[in-house]
Amino acid sequence: MSALLVRQAQRLCEVFTELVRRYQFRDRDQICFHGLSISQCYALQALAARHSLTTGELARHLCLKISTMTRVVDQLVRTELARRGEDARDRRICRVEITAQGRALVAEVRKALVQEYAGVLRTVPAESRDAVIEAMSCLLAAFKGRPSCRPAKAAAGRVRRRRNGIPVKRR
Amino acid sequence: MSALLVRQAQRLCEVFTELVRRYQFRDRDQICFHGLSISQCYALQALAARHSLTTGELARHLCLKISTMTRVVDQLVRTELARRGEDARDRRICRVEITAQGRALVAEVRKALVQEYAGVLRTVPAESRDAVIEAMSCLLAAFKGRPSCRPAKAAAGRVRRRRNGIPVKRR
DNA sequence: GGATATACTTGTTCTGTACAACTATTGCTG
DNA sequence: CAGCAATAGTTGTACAGAACAAGTATATCC
């Protein structure tokens, strides 16, 4: 690996880590302000962008286990921000859709976030703003090429059990 | 607010939100791999950068309540990554310092992250890399000018209680 | 010197997430 | 085609991170 690349990576590490750290806090506050958890918000945004998603697709998108996703969807359904529908082809599948109410909330959150960013951008010299945004999408593109979640944890001394074997005792 | 700024803010919102989302997942996996929680890691990094910090300073830095911070420090002390010391002037204060072991772990984590970033950077056209990093620090500077945590939550219908009044019943 | 403020700790609760087991459905194969 | 295996999701349970409330010790101010 070239020395230059290493130096650049070090610099990026410093800057980006700190940037994300700061951003996270504000983002969290902003979103929670609207009564959504981060996961709920991500899920809702994903649903707003597509017509419908299955529980599994959502889980993969958010890097959550399906069991967790079920519960996040439960919350959204309970608050009537999303609804569960059936899939015509495969009756095991659960198609999740956003409701009008959900769509409205996503719009509201987005508006607040955009305001937030406008505030940030205002303190960036006007002539650099486009460059900053451009750089960001460049980096995003780079990230997109890589897996976002670690591929399950097949790592450790984890025994693969037969599905239909004798039920395993809980510890 | 100018229409241009709004458009830019919208674009930034989209790109940056997605970038952070993806980054978070990887970051979480990466760090947990070293046996540190995110908060522990942030705390340790802050400690590595300075000589010592009080519990309160750490809490402010991480946007955590002091009570939570106490426990995060507990964890670091238990695993001998940090130690608690006294303050010569004010005996209420708890000065937290990183140990040699902690410093080594921070270095290890950092190394892994830098590798990660090098991988990302490699997929960015070589001639854009410096610009991307520059843009990032520009944005970071902009964020630094703003408070990172929402200023306590004086917002809601929250009653301010007298400190020395009759103890309030838990619900 | 006593009330009040500050810095932290401890007890408790809540929420988010994972893991294991279970149900229902679909698909594959002898 | 019967039955086993795979897939999609739900439910029971456990645990960690974080908050809130109350408690303790020290410092500061009138």
Query: Going by C-beta distance under 8 Å and a sequence separation of 6 or more, which residues neighbour residue B68?
Result: B39, B59
Q: Which residues of A touch B150 (CB under 8 A)?
A: 26, 29, 33
Mean pLDDT of B66-87: 96
CA of A66 to C1' of C28 (A): 25
Residue B168 has pLDDT above 80, yes or no: no
CB B153: neighbour CB atoms within 10 A? 10
Assigned token pair, B56: 């309160």
The one-digit pLDDT tens for each residue of chain A (171 residues) are 789 999 999 999 999 989 988 888 888 888 888 889 999 999 999 999 998 999 999 999 999 999 999 999 999 999 999 999 999 899 999 999 999 999 999 999 999 999 989 998 998 889 889 988 988 898 898 888 877 776 543 333 223 232 222 322 222
Q: For B81-90, how does the pLDDT look when each residue is reduced to its tens digit (9 = 90+)?
A: 999 999 999 9
Domain A8-124: which topology? Arc Repressor Mutant, subunit A (1.10.10)
For chain B, domain boundaries: 9-123
CA distance B142 to A18: 12
Asked if strand C comes closer than 7 Å to A153 Cβ, the answer is yes
Q: Residue A100 carries which side chain, given as an amino acid letter?
A: A
- Mean pLDDT, chain B, integer: 84
Nearest to B6 among A17, A118, A123 (CB): A118
Contact B117 A13 (CB under 8 A): yes
Chain D bases under 7 Å from protein CB? 4-14, 16-23, 25-28
Write the CATH number of the domain with boundaries B9-123: 1.10.10.10
CA of A70 to C1' of D6 (A): 20
Question: What are the φ and ψ backbone dihedral angles of A86, each rounded to 5 degrees?
Answer: -100, 160
CA distance A113 to B52: 35
Strand ranges across the sheet with B94-98: B53-54, B94-98, B82-86
Mean pLDDT of B47-72: 96
What pLDDT score was predicted for residue B85?
95
Q: Which residues of A touch B129 (CB under 8 A)?
A: 5, 8
Contact A8 B130 (CB under 8 A): yes
Looking across all nucleic acid strands, the nucleotide with the smallest C1' to CA distance from residue A40 is C16
Half-sphere exposure of B161 (CA within 13 A, CB side): 8
Percent of chain A as helix, strand, coil, to the nearest 5: 60, 5, 30
How buried is B62 (Cβ within 10 angstroms: 0-12 exposed, 13-18 middle, 19+ buried)? buried
Q: For B16-42, how does the pLDDT look when each residue is reduced to its tens digit (9 = 90+)?
A: 889 889 888 888 888 888 889 999 999
